[in-house]
Structure 1
Amino acid sequence: MAYVPPHLRHAKDAEKPSPKPELLVPQFQRSLNFGSPSRSNVGRRKGHNQPSSQAGKIEYGNDAIYRWFAAGSPGDGQFPSSAGLETISLKSFEQRSAEPPLILVLDPHVAQDVKESDGDVRKSPWEYVAENVQEDLLSSFQNVRKARESQELEGKPTLVVRFGKILFRGRSLTNVEAVERKSVSETTLRQMKRSLYTNVPVAFIQHVTSEAVPKIGLDFAEEKELYHIKLSDSMRPDSTITCKCRVMEDCKKLQLHKIELNQVRHLVFDVSCLDKKLDLRLMLYTKEALTDLTDDEEHCIRNLINSAVLNSEVKGGLRWPLGTETSGGRFTVVGVWHTNAKIFRSSSIRLKVRHADRFDFRTSVGEVSREVSLKMTEICLELLKQNHQVDLVTTMLEDNLRLIWECFLDCDCSFE
């Protein structure tokens, strides 16, 4: 009998009510980490052992930096008293949270004053962001370089900017406050849990591909479709293995392309852009390719890939016949992503516009999202040099952030 995923099963008793969404929330929340990295998941990849499975959790390197600040406000970085929290309706987020998320907004009249003051002596937002990021970026890259030289860490460092909306959690609003903007201090915001909602509006995707790409002069590089099969490994309880696979069109089967461990984050800067519709996350991470698998390990993983059945009707696009989602008593399928991405690039940056269809087998929760990310490849190449030029890195960072502000964030789109 073929395995039927939970989201496609029909109830035997037609009159039996479906479980309420709120009953599923606690289970999903236990698998998420919306706040700053805790001691339990900050550690070296090698030799970092957990008593229970940590697969799927976000992993941070030693001395990882995780910060937030707001940019685009009047007064050269002074947090405006006119900023406040508002609820936002995001169905896909509310499915896995008991509370509606909150976003940081600026009073409309103040926001207009900010736009009109762009030509004065006020420090530009990209200069302000670069100043806030530069010292920690250099420090984090130095830590990554030392860890790679001592072989405590493998994988090439990547510096990326992701677009979306910073969501805050941890403060309940009354019914009246949910309608009207609620003032909040910068100190309070730093204490709240937050996450980056990366499912950007369609209008932003259209703006990026039709306006930003030609304006910057990016060249189309490639379009690729991949299936990301997420595996838990009983021998690596603190990591998730990702198998990136392509589709062989002649036989409609998956072909293994690359095996990786989940990324390790070393620097995360969340930036609420008060004068724009979208926010940013600047992140430095490494990702290790698994190349030293034994023949038995590779055989077990390939068995899981070969057992996958392409099915566009299920979330994630793949299903496994009953009993084939585990291999060798060690590897288990815990999730799957089906992604279609367009890549644009220049000599200094690499832009990815991606459509992702995800499903988590542990929580039976799936989502579809549109995502945009920009890799700062030239800055990474300079920082990898033993005698890199700090002034040059500063200039590159400011230039890239200015490009982001003027060409990407200049889009009037809404998440609601």
Structure 2
Amino acid sequence: MGLTKKIVLAMIAGIAVGLICNVLNTSQVLGAGVTGFINNYLTNGLFDIIGRIFIASLKLMVVPLVLVSLICGSCALSEGSRVGVLAGKTVLLYLVTTAAAISLALLLAIVIQPGAGMEGIAGDAAFEPQPSPPLSEVLINIFPTNPVDAMAKGNMLQIIVFALLMGYAISRSGKPGQRIAGFFNDLNDVIMRMVGVLMAFAPYGVFALLATKIASLGFDAILQLMKYFMVVLAALLLHAFGVYSILLKLLSGLNPVQLFKKMRPAMVFAFSTASSAATIPVTLSTVEKRLGVDNKVASFTIPLGATINMDGTAIMQGVATVFISQLYGIEIGLMGYLTVILTATLASVGTAGVPGVGLIMLAMVLQQVGLPLEGIAIVMGVDRLLDMVRTAVNITGDSVVSAIVAKSEGALNVETFNDANYSSVANGSEGRQAAS
């Protein structure tokens, strides 16, 4: 059974067990001894322990994941012929789409207010919010004076700047740099395996977290989580079919409908795997064979996009941040929202294309604006379903940026892009591979 099915089943089981515990606790049929056992040894005992351990494991992965992923990414970006106008256009477009994505998400969440009236869901945990610093101080504090101290304190913005600088320096250091780059690439593989190990336990974490929450909340929590789910889903769809269409038409003059039709196989594959990295071969083949993007562009924009273009993740972070702030009754203000946009945009560079890493990045964003990490437990139950959708959005953004950059560089076969009669049979084995 795949991880997706396991987590969906764990989510259903967690909700069911939580509802049963809630009904048993609220009914007067059982005695105090039974309800006490349920509360003390199950919901606030075993389930709570498992959930807390899983949240702690997510926090554990934040610093090493961001640091090593960014060093490897900036190394690849800075070496050889990849430096220049092509890289500049690609990175700029990816950052612009990510900033637009999280801005759209924040706007929708602020207007719809999915967490309004849900203050009770946060439980009795005491939390004293720290005042958000002014934007000028945030910008100054981006640049670290001591990277070790920044990593020890989990200051993600400083870690991002240090990693980008170190990656650039490694790519410019000749043979010593190549040896160091090889070390970090190997370390990155090890960390990705650690993330895989952690995600293998995700079903148990999801079950425990949902069972604990639903046991104390009942049916109302499901309805409220559904409201959060729908806000995130609406933002994802608006960004995919609205923002991307406008950008593609304005910057390249290409037909967005054609792009969406031809990217459908890759989008379905991304939805099923919930991993941008796993979808790279399919995305690359589809962009080259179906959209007509030259390999010299696609071979750079697609792998880079799988590393730094995480619009769907940014949307989830934006909605979740507003949701959690409303949940705990904490107003983060305009400076807080601007900090979220800046942090999530920069953090997208370090979000690896594997399932579940978006929750790790969400922990970073919440830390940056002084919101409690316990809020992750509330949104995590429906996150796996949303992860599948936002992965499809991410690879769609990769294809849009690839088409725009290729068109501007004269590296796009417009006839292939506009060929509405493209079929796998007519194009031989390559077409079959792209359509598979």
* TM-score normalised per structure 1: 0.26
User: Which is strand-richer, 1 or 2?
Assistant: 1
* TM-score normalised per structure 2: 0.26
User: Which is helix-richer, 1 or 2?
Assistant: 2
